[in-house]
């Protein structure tokens, strides 16, 4: 089972200085924070994460929702909702990698983002961004007016 790592739990992980809570100001901050969850498998498996933020846009937790194959991963929106609601976050940033290196969002990427955005609208949780990552770059739905 995937666990939400909350802010107070991040302090325990800080011993290896990998997951400090940070203030997210833009898509580059999101990319830099989320990329640390990926290691060498960023070019192998597609994985989907949710990053939870408080009212000041400070990270309060993250969860790995799924890991798939080389070309896709299944995103269960119930799990996305579970972690966001349990964390009592103000907003989320969705993120997944494209092992192919292609940063362009697929139609499926756009549709799942809309579905999650609608789902969270009923809980007053804002989807601030959806980041597509590669080893060296990222694509931001927010920066490209897709939210």
pTM: 0.84
Q: Point out which residues pair with 5 in neighbouring strands.
A: 62
Distance of CA 122 to the CA centre of its chain: 20
Domain boundaries, the chain: 5-140
Are 110 and 94 in contact by the 8 Å Cβ rule? The answer is: no
CA nearest to 29, candidates 145, 147, 140: 140
**Domain 5-140 falls under CATH 3.40.140.10:** yes
Q: Does residue 111 surpass a pLDDT of 60?
A: yes
**Please, is 69 exposed, middle or buried when counting C-beta atoms within 10 Å of its C-beta (0-12, 13-18, 19+)?**
exposed
Digit-coded pLDDT (tens) for 70-86: 888 999 999 999 999 98
pLDDT-derived band at 11 (thresholds 50, 70, 90) equals very low
CA nearest to 57, candidates 84, 15, 93: 93
DSSP state of 87: H
């Amino acid at each position: 089972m995937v666990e939400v790592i909350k802010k107070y739990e991040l302090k325990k992980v800080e011993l290896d200085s990998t997951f400090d809570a940070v203030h997210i100001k833009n898509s580059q901050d999101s990319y830099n924070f989320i990329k640390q969850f990926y290691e060498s498998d960023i070019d192998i498996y597609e994985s989907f994460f949710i990053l939870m933020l408080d009212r000041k846009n400070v990270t309060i937790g993250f969860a790995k929702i799924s890991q798939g194959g080389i070309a896709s991963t299944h995103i269960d929106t119930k799990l996305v909702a579970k972690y966001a609601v349990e964390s009592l976050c103000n907003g989320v940033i969705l993120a997944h990698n494209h092992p192919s290196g292609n940063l362009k969002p697929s139609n499926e990427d756009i549709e799942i983002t809309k579905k999650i955005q609608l789902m969270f609208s009923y809980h007053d949780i804002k989807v601030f961004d959806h980041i597509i990552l590669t080893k060296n770059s990222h694509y931001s739905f927010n920066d490209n007016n897709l939210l």
